[in-house]
Amino acid sequence: MPRFAANLSMLYPEHAFLDRFEAAARDGFQAVEYLFPYEHEPRELAARLRANGLQQVLFNAPPGDWNGGERGMACLPGREQEFREAFAQALRYAQALSCPRVHVMAGLVPDGVERAELRPTYVANVRWAAREAARQGVDVLLEPINTRDIPRFFLNRQDHAHELVGEIGEPNAKVQMDLYHCQIVEGDVAMKIRQYLPTGRVGHFQIAGVPLRHEPDHGELNYTYLFSVIDEVSQACGWDGWIGCEYRPARGAEPGGTSAGLEWLRQAKAGTR
Ligand SMILES: O=C(O)C(=O)[C@@H](O)CO
Ligand SMILES: [Mg+2]
């Protein structure tokens, strides 16, 4: 069965962020991911990981002015210096947390600009980041995101992401394949897993039910089937990464709501015995 990481930006909203590590471990998770670590000292986060026997498997580089609506800087001409400084900060956290992956958000296409005009900046920024990250054994991830959640996001499709990864040309630049976004934008999810996972260019998966981004057993995707596809293909190609549980629990911040909603995970585990 695939290995699952709890996304602490979305799961366990009834707890303060630092207390979500313990909640995830209590539910049997052995790994976590989240959006941004930067409000906390690396040593505090490392202590939470250690105390709860957890691995950090992914977080995001600083995205620019998040509260002002920015969603990454990688595609933005004129922001290269800020991008580099932000990525250097991410690498310091990755080192302290022994985290092998950093997601670099692409950014929004500015009004009046054609997507194609941004491509050279994006490729140059991510190539630079991948080379820096390679020195400490870290992969840099690119994630296609749907434009219902993030209108004007630069990167939306798996084929576009894989084309860019090819052009970037660094072995540690990979795609973060979020099946929730993939279903919303393009569908045909199982065939896309079969197409892309064997290329060695998928660094990480994320999951959520579609359309409401709740538990994977809510909505139109059949995750029992998709997990069996990931299992089959990863055994054939030797992929041994993680699947991030990046969803908003249907019970919201109700105490115990995330844990109660993990029935899909208990069933997935039971199905492999
Ligand atoms: O929204 C997602 O999906 C993510 O994985 C985030 O890292 C970016 O918003
Ligand atoms: Mg995602």
List C-alpha distances in Å: 27 to 19, 66, 75, 195, 223: 13, 30, 38, 33, 20
Looking at residue 270, its pLDDT comes to 87
Distance CA 155, CA 32 (A): 24
Q: What is the pLDDT of residues 56-96, one digit of tens each?
A: 999 999 999 999 999 999 999 999 999 999 999 999 999 99
Catalytic residue flag (residue 85): no
Judge whether 143 counts as a catalytic residue. yes
CA of 206 to the centre of ligand 2 (A): 6
Identify the nearest ligand to the CA of 149 by its number. Answer: 1
Whether 136 shows a pLDDT value over 70: the answer reads yes
Q: pLDDT tens digit string along 210-247?
A: 999 999 999 999 999 999 999 999 999 999 999 999 99
Q: Which two tokens stand for residue 219?
A: 């909505």
- Given pLDDT bands bounded at 50, 70 and 90, which one contains residue 2? confident
| Residue 84 tokens, joined | 């580099």
* Residue 103 CB less than 6 A away from ligand 1: yes
Considering 14, 33, 143, 215, which one is annotated as catalytic?
143
Residue 191 · residue 219 · CB < 8 Å: no
- Residue 273 pLDDT > 80, yes or no? no
Q: In sequence order, what are the residues at sequence separation of 6 or more whose Cβ sits closer than 8 angstroms to the Cβ of residue 134?
A: 170, 171, 172
Instruction: Determine the atom of ligand 1 nearest the C-alpha atom of 244.
Output: 5
- The candidate with the shortest Cα–Cα distance to 220, out of 204, 208, 233, 206, is 208
Using alpha carbons, select from 14, 9, 5, 8 the residue that is nearest to residue 252: 14
CB 5 within 8 A of CB 243: yes
Taken in order of first residue, the domains within the chain and their CATH numbers are 3-270 (3.20.20.150)
- Options 14, 33, 215, 246, the catalytic residue: 246
Which residue's alpha carbon is nearest to atom 7 within ligand 1? Answer: 35
Residue 157 and residue 186 in contact, taking contact as beta carbons nearer than 8 Å: yes
The string of DSSP letters for 92-128 reads HHHHHHT--EEE--B-BPPTT--HHHHHHHHHHHHHH
ipTM (interface pTM): 0.97
Q: Is 101 in the pocket of ligand 1 (CB under 6 A)?
A: no
